[in-house]
Chains A and B, each alone.
Chain A
Amino acid sequence: MTTNHSATSGRGVPLALHGLTKRYGQRTVLNHAQLTIEPGEFVAIVGRSGCGKSTLLRLVAGLEAASSGSLHIAGKPHAGLRNDTRIMFQDARLLPWKRVIDNVALGLPEAQRGAAAKVLEQVGLGDRGADWPARLSGGQRQRVALARALVHQPNLLLLDEPLGALDALTRIEMHALIEDLWLRHGFTALLVTHDVQEAVALADRVVLIEDGVIALDERIALPRPRSRGDAAFAALEKRILDRVLQRPGEEATPIEPAWLGAAAHGLRWAI
């Protein structure tokens, strides 16, 4: 297990998935995923809900064990939780009974508590340390969660749709913040999102997962900081989005039955 010495911090770790498979009973959620991520790379995983992208992240986090296949982090086979990996969840998951600064310092040794205030400053909430989390807005809570993740100087940061519940403006602010901190700290980042624009705005590579299979691996070569109004940006976003919406192998069928199913379901409730 790697510890977060300052020597290794600020340096991302490489990630290698070989034939990674996850089954829940009969259902295969992730099917022979094959993916290599360079140290310090920012990779976004997109896909429809239920496609297996969150499962992939939970496997990398060590929150769940793979059914088969291998997963190497920093060249070593990976099992269980790692001390140099931090996760940002969709909900901020702050402890409501700890003040903001104590939330950031969660799991830190007493001697490093000063670092918490510094990172809180970096996410722009330096003056809110003494507040209860209940007093913060959704965006501020996610910033605290980001600070809490970064204070450990992780080599790998996993982001599980962390901005999904935020409004569009706050989201754009958070993109800039995450990009800035990623550039500054240099960790490897793996972002799961259903928002293609978010993926294109942040990632070096966008990976599409479809029915548990990696269906697309697109390099985003746009210079940073990226502007959403840019023509190249828009073209890339459109291409990936089109690819997400189209489903090869099941031509044109999925929409109608899904709609009928929903209607029948609704009907049952109405009766």
Chain B
Amino acid sequence: MSNTLQELQTGPSASVHPEQPWTYPHLGLHIPPNDALALAVKAIARRLLPWLVPLALITAWHIASSAGWLSTRVLPAPLDVVQAAWTLAESGELWTHVKVSAARALTGLAIGGGLGLLLGLLTGSVRFFETLLDSSIQMVRNIPALALIPLVILWFGIDESAKLFLIAVSVFFPIYLNTYHGIRNVDPGLIEMARTYGLSRWQLYTQVILPGALSSILVGLRFSLGLMWVILIVAETISAQAGIGYLTMNAREFLQTDIVLVGILLYALLGKLADLFAGALERSWLRWHPGYQAKH
């Protein structure tokens, strides 16, 4: 806008600059005009831009709490949260709770996910088991795991097993469904080809059907990892003697909002870690897949 205005006022001849390479004698660089510097600025801007909003929010938060506009009962100052995290980490309390929570989540995932994988492989591969089991599983799938909480408390009490059961039930379905569909959707042409090439049943399974279903199974795993944390948080807030949920619920009793926030951030961090793990798994197991190949 301003450019065109200037052009209109001064005429085109004044705004046209002779094309001259930019030189940086102190750097020993000789760079063509417009290219390098503009590109570098753009690259840096692209890197920084996504962080702008979070930074602004934290700054605003800091200003608000240090000016006293924000009661620490609502939200503690960001530095207090960092301080609380540091103290907890130093005393070692943080790690015990993280360990307990992570162990819970992973055990639940191993039980539920393992069962889901096994049953998915079974119903996907053997027609008899599909007829026998699939419709029942599809029916049960529609019950939200959290709706089971009263029943689970009656069955298992408020023990460790109740939490594991809830997590296992909720991670079961994404893995089961995606395994089943992954196997069903393996290209029948590939299976036919493999049969004509004299592969045994076992070879057919390990070399064609399982790898063909793998991308779908990993999608299921990703869903399950997401659900796993959500259910863990709910399960831990019911009642717990250790774990991140215990940490935050305990802190709530004493109005330690900074520790509550540390707990929330820990959940976020663990969720992110699980996601990174699933991503890494996809990149290494699906490296043949054009969609997952690292761009060079």
Contact = CB atoms under 8 A, between A and B. Distances in A.
Interface of A: 61-63, 81, 83, 85-87, 89, 91, 93, 95-99, 106-107, 132-134, 148, 152
B290 A93 contact: no
A251 to B, nearest CB: 39
Contacts of B189: 89, 91, 93
Interface of B is mostly: helix
Interface stretch (B114-122, B173-181, B195-203, B257-265): B195-203
A66 to B, nearest CB: 17
Instruction: Please classify how large the interface on chain B is, using the bins under 10, 10 to 19, 20 to 34, 35 or more.
Output: 20 to 34
B195 A81 contact: yes
A83 B190 contact: no
Nearest to B187: A93
Which of A62, A87, A93 gathers the greatest number of chain B CB atoms within 10 Å?
Answer: A93
Given A63-B192, A95-B207, A86 B197 contact: yes
Contacts of A62: 196
15 contacts: A61-B196, A63-B196, A83-B198, A85-B196, A87-B193, A89-B193, A93-B187, A97-B214, A97-B286, A97-B288, A106-B199, A107-B197, A107-B203, A134-B290, A152-B197
B180 to A, nearest CB: 20
Interface string B267-279: 0000000000000
A107 B288 contact: no
Nearest to A133: B288
A107 B199 contact: yes
Contacts of A89: 189, 193
A106 B190 contact: no
Given A63-B192, A91-B189, A106-B207, A96 B288 contact: yes
Interface of B: 187, 189-190, 192-199, 203, 207-208, 211-212, 214, 286-290, 293
B197 A95 contact: no
A86 B288 contact: no
Contacts of B214: 97
Contacts of B194: 95, 106-107
A95 B211 CA distance: 9
Given A83-B198, A96-B289, 10 more contacts: A81-B195, A81-B196, A87-B193, A89-B189, A98-B207, A98-B211, A106-B199, A107-B199, A133-B288, A134-B288
Contacts of B208: 95
A87 B197 CA distance: 8
A148 B192 contact: no
Nearest to B190: A93
A63 B188 CA distance: 13
B83 to A, nearest CB: 50
A182 to B, nearest CB: 19
A61 B187 CA distance: 19
A93 B194 CA distance: 9
Given A106-B207, A134-B289, A95 B190 contact: yes
A81 B192 contact: no
Nearest to A135: B290
A81 B195 CA distance: 8
A62 B198 CA distance: 12
A91 B187 CA distance: 12
